[in-house]
Amino acid sequence: MTRSVTSLSSSMFTMAGLSTTTTTTYSANAQLVLQPVVRNDHFIVFGPEAICSVDLSGKVQWTTEWDWAGKKVTLTPTFLKNGTIVFMVKENIQVIDEKTGNILWTEEDDADAQPVIPPNHKYLYMIEDQEVRVYSIGR
């Protein structure tokens, strides 16, 4: 969801039959993380302060805080084959269970590292300069 705010100011100067109008427009966009992801029998919503699972009738199944609050999202939420969701906000890596919303584990790593998840979804590699750190994220 994107919200836009626009401000318009105008001034007019008249002298000896000549007039000049100056218009200044200020525009700012604030983007909120609100990303619903449709799954088989539910959808997951990523909001600014929490992640929740909602069934197809609209009933909230679970809610888990994720403390986004405008911080750098190093690894966007990624759905893994094993039924978990992994994400990294600033230095905090979290893996949660998609069915329950329970946090399975958390770990801190450098926010400047580059996260890589291979196709088998068993590991999370954090690559920084010439160092590679490996986390087991598969079950």
Q: What is the pLDDT of residues 51-76, one digit of tens each?
A: 899 998 889 999 998 777 677 788 88
Which value, in Å, is the radius of gyration of the alpha carbons in the chain? 23
Distance between first and last Cα of the chain: 34
**pTM attached to this predicted model:** 0.69
Q: Would you state the pLDDT for residue 126?
A: 94
Confidence (pLDDT) at 17: 58
Which residues of the chain carry a pLDDT beneath 50? 1-10, 24-31, 33
Locate the domains of the chain by residue range: 2-136
d(CA 99, CA 80): 12
Q: Which of 131, 124, 81 is nearest to 105 (CA)?
A: 124
Q: What is the pLDDT of residue 31?
A: 44
The highest-level CATH class for domain 2-136 is: mainly beta
Phi, psi of 36 (to 5 degrees): -80, 135
